[in-house]
Chains A and B, each alone.
Chain A
Amino acid sequence: MAAAALPGTRGHARPSPRRPVGIVPTAVLVLGAIYTLFPVSWVVVAATKSKAELFSTSTFAPGTGLLSNLADLFAYRDGVFWLWLLNTALYAGGGAVLSTAVSTISGYALAKYSFPGRNLIFNLLIGGILVPSVVLAIPQYLLFSKAGLADTYWSVLLPQILHPYSIYLARIYAQAAIPASLLEAGRLDGAGEWRLFRRVALPLLTPGMVTIFLFQFVAIWNNFLLPFIMLGDDHKFPLTVGLYTLLAAGANQPSLYNLIITGTMLSLIPLIALFLTMQRYWRTDLSGGAVKS
C-alpha cells in the first residue's frame, strides 16, 4: 500500500528536481511490500483450495474449495471458531484499551511531573523493554497459579496491560506534544490536575494513543505463547492457540491444513479493517510529528 502511494505523490504537478533519489526509497518500499504481501497472498490463494487441491495444484492457482472450507471451518466442533474469534477480540480489544489507558497516564505523569524517583522508574521501564515477554510467560504462569487466576480471562489480559515500550512511547509523545506553557496557563486559570489531563493533555495525546492502541492490539491479536501457557480450557482460547490445536492434532491424526489456512485468512480481516478505519488517526499522528520536528 505504501508503495502504491509513493508514485501517486510523485505524479503531482509539483516539479521534483531530485527525481533519481526518489527511486531508491520507492524500490526499497516496493521490495518491502512484496516481502510482506507475498505470504499474505499465499494464504488468500491457499484458502480457496480444497483438501485435494492444496498439495497437488500449483502454488498460486486458485482452487475451488473456498466455500466448503468455510463451511467446514464453521462446522468444526459446533462453530468453536467463532468463540475463539470472540475471545481474541476480547483479549486484543480489552487488553489494548486497558494498556493504552495505563500507558498514556503513566507516560504523561513521567513526562510532565517531576517527582523523586521519576528517573529510577523510567530507567526500570527502559530495562523492561529489553526483557522479551516470552521469557516472562512461565514465571507469570506460576504467579497466576499461586493467585488462583491461571486459566481465567484475567490471566491473558493482565500481563499484557503493562507494556513498558508503550509507556516509553507515551512519555516521548507527551513530552513533545504538550507544551509546558499550556499546562501552566491551565493551572493559572484554576484547573485541577485531573481536569488538566482530561481537557488539555488528552486531546493532544490522541494520535499517540491510537498508535499505542494499534501496536498493542496487533501484538495481543498475534500473541501465542502467553495464552498457550495460561489457558487450559479450550473455550477460552484465542484464535492463535485454537488454530494450533488443529495443526498439532497428534501424530496419528492428519493436520487440518485447509481449515487452518482458511481460519488464518479470516483472522486477518479484522486486523485489516482496524487499520483501514484507524488510518485517519495515523495520518494526524504522522503530520503532527512532521510539524514538531
Chain B
Amino acid sequence: MRVNRLAVAAAAILTATLATACSGGSEEPSVPAASQSAAPAGPVNLTYWTWVPNMDKIVAVWNQAHPDIQVTVSKQAGGDDAAAKFLTAAKAGNPPDLVQAEYQMLPSFVAADAVADLKAETAQVKGEFSEGVWGLVTLGTDAVYAVPQDSGPMMLYYRKDLFEKYGIAVPKTWDEYAEAARTVHKKDPKVFLGTFSSKDPGWFAGLSQQAGAQWWSISGDAWKVAVNDEATKKVASYWGGLVKEGVIDGMPYFTPEWNKALNDGKLLTWPSAVWGPGVLSANAPKGKDKWAVAPLPQWNAGENYSGFWGGSSTAVAAKSPSKAAAAQFATWLNTDPEALGLLIKEGAIYPASAKGAALMTEAPGYFSSQPDFWQQAASIGATARGFTFGPNVNVTYNAYKDAFDKAVAATSDFAAAVQTMQDATVADMQKSGFTLAQ
C-alpha cells in the first residue's frame, strides 16, 4: 500500500515535471526564431541582462511606446559574476541582446569580440557625455562599444557631528587627512577616521586615478601596463603607512562589521562615489542627516582632482540578430529625458549623461541636511579623471584582493602589493597572447 501511494505521488510529480519542462523547452526555440525572422514583419524581441533595480518598470515604458521593439529584462546578479556569465554566454553563442557592462569590464568584452561597435548609432548622442566618461566606452579607439549609463565620481563622505565632537576640520589634502586620523584615534582608540578596504579594488583604482595613475594604455597594437606607476605606489604607501601606524582600520567595506561600525559612529569618513547615499541609508540608517560630502582630499594643496569608482554602460552583444534595434533602445535608455528621469527615480542611479545629472535636484533623503548635495556632486564630478581599463581587469582586481589582504593582515609594504598586481596582470596578458609594449 505504502509503496503504491509513493509510486502514485512519484508518477504525478514526474508527469508534472515533464509537462512543464516540455512546455518550457518548446517555448524556447520559438523566441530566437521569431526575432530572426522579425526584420520584415512582427516585433523584434530583445533580451536585456541588467541589475539596475526596477529596470522592468523603465522598460515597460519603452515597450508601450515601441510596439515593434519589445525588450525583456532579466535581472542578474551584479558585479564580476555577471561579466563572467555574459562572456560564457557569448562564447557559447547565446548571449542576451543587451547587457549592462561595468566600465572596467568593457575591455574584456571587447577583447572577446562579445560586444558590437555602436559608432554609427551613437554619433548623435556623443555630445551628451563628458569626455572622461565617453573615453570609458571608446577605450581610446575610434569605436564605441557601449552607451554610458551611470558614473561614480568619488568624493569624501564624513560625519559632520563627530568631526565637531573630535574637533577636526574637513581635510583638504591627504596630509591633513592623515593628521586627522591620528588625532581621532588618539582621542578615542576605538574610533577610526577611515578604513582601508582590501576587498574593493574599484575603490583603490579610483583613488589611483585621482593621483594621476594610468594602469593601462594602448600604443599602436601593443598594451602598456603600468599598475605599478609612481602615482599608484604613492597612494598605496600612503594608506600602508597609516594602517601600519594603526590610525586607519583595515576592515573591508560592505561587510556586516563595517555596517556596524558606521552605525555605531566608529568610522568617521568614507572616500566613496556619488552613489554612496543609497549604501549609507540602507546599511547605516542611524546616521541619517549626520553625514555630509566634501571633495576628496588632494595630493597637493590647490589641486582639484577626483577619480571614478563604479559606473556602468549598456552594451549590445556582437551576436545579437537585431543590433540596430538594440542600439536604439540603449541610446533611448541613457539619453532620453523620460528614461533618465525613470533611471533616477526607479533605478536610483546617478546618470552619466549631463542632461541626466542636471535632473538631480532634490538631495537624497539621507542627506536632507545638505540641500546642495547634487550641486556638490556635479562640481566634483567635473574634476574626476579616469583611465583606460585593460582587457583583464578581473585578474588585476583579484591580485589586489589577495595581495592587499595579506598586506593589511601583516601590515607589510603596500607598494610591494602593487608590484604583485602588476606582475599578475602582465603574466596573464602574456599568457592570453596580448602584445605588450616594454
Contacts and interface: CB of A to CB of B under 8 A. Distances in A.
A223 B256 CA distance: 25
B51 interface: yes
A151 B93 CA distance: 12
Interface in B407-427: none
Given A141-B88, A152-B28, A249-B53, A97 B279 contact: no
A56 B286 contact: yes
Interface stretch (A4-12, A25-33, A231-239, A262-270): A231-239
Contacts of A51: 282, 285
Contact of A157 (B21, B77, B282, B311): B21
Interface residues of A, number: 51
A141 B51 CA distance: 22
A254 B21 contact: no
Contacts of B76: 232, 234, 245
B79 A251 contact: yes
A158 B206 CA distance: 45
Contacts of A250: 51-52, 78-79, 310, 312
A149 B25 CA distance: 7
A125 interface: no
A251 B78 contact: yes
Contacts of A141: 88, 92
A145 interface: yes
Interface stretch (B155-163, B187-195, B237-245, B258-266): B258-266
Contacts of B28: 148-149, 151-152
A282 interface: no
A142 interface: yes
B94 A248 contact: no
A102 to B, nearest CB: 11
B367 to A, nearest CB: 15
Contacts of B217: none
B302 interface: no
Interface string A242-261: 00110111111111110000
A55 B260 contact: yes
Contacts of B221: none
B10 A248 contact: no
B29 interface: yes
Given A94-B13, A148-B29, A236-B24, A254 B81 contact: no
Contacts of B311: 252
B96 A254 contact: no
A119 interface: no
A90 B20 CA distance: 9
Nearest to B78: A250
Contact of A232 (B3, B47, B256, B281): B47
B17 interface: yes
A257 B263 CA distance: 15
Nearest to B200: A251
Interface band, chain B: 35 or more
Given A55-B260, A236-B24, A251 B310 contact: yes
Contact of B24 (A148, A153, A245, A254): A153
Interface in B164-212: 202
A116 B102 CA distance: 56
A149 B81 CA distance: 22
Contacts of A70: none
A39 B191 CA distance: 30
A245 B51 contact: yes
B25 A56 contact: no
B305 interface: no
Interface string B1-38: 01100110010011011101100110011000000000
B74 interface: yes
B283 interface: yes
A94 B77 contact: no
Given A52-B286, A55-B263, A232-B89, A157 B17 contact: yes
B51 A55 contact: no
A232 B21 contact: no
Contact of A52 (B79, B254, B285): B285
A47 B275 CA distance: 27
Contact of B94 (A94, A145, A153, A247): A145
A127 B10 CA distance: 29
B85 to A, nearest CB: 7
A94 B16 contact: yes
A77 interface: yes
Interface in B260-296: 260, 263-264, 273, 275, 278-279, 281-283, 285-286
Given A153-B25, A253-B275, 8 more contacts: A55-B283, A56-B263, A232-B47, A232-B76, A248-B78, A250-B78, A252-B150, A252-B152
30 contacts: A55-B263, A55-B283, A94-B13, A94-B16, A94-B17, A100-B10, A101-B14, A149-B25, A153-B20, A154-B24, A228-B81, A232-B47, A232-B89, A232-B94, A232-B96, A233-B47, A234-B75, A245-B51, A248-B51, A248-B77, A248-B82, A249-B53, A249-B77, A250-B51, A250-B52, A250-B79, A252-B311, A253-B348, A254-B278, A254-B279
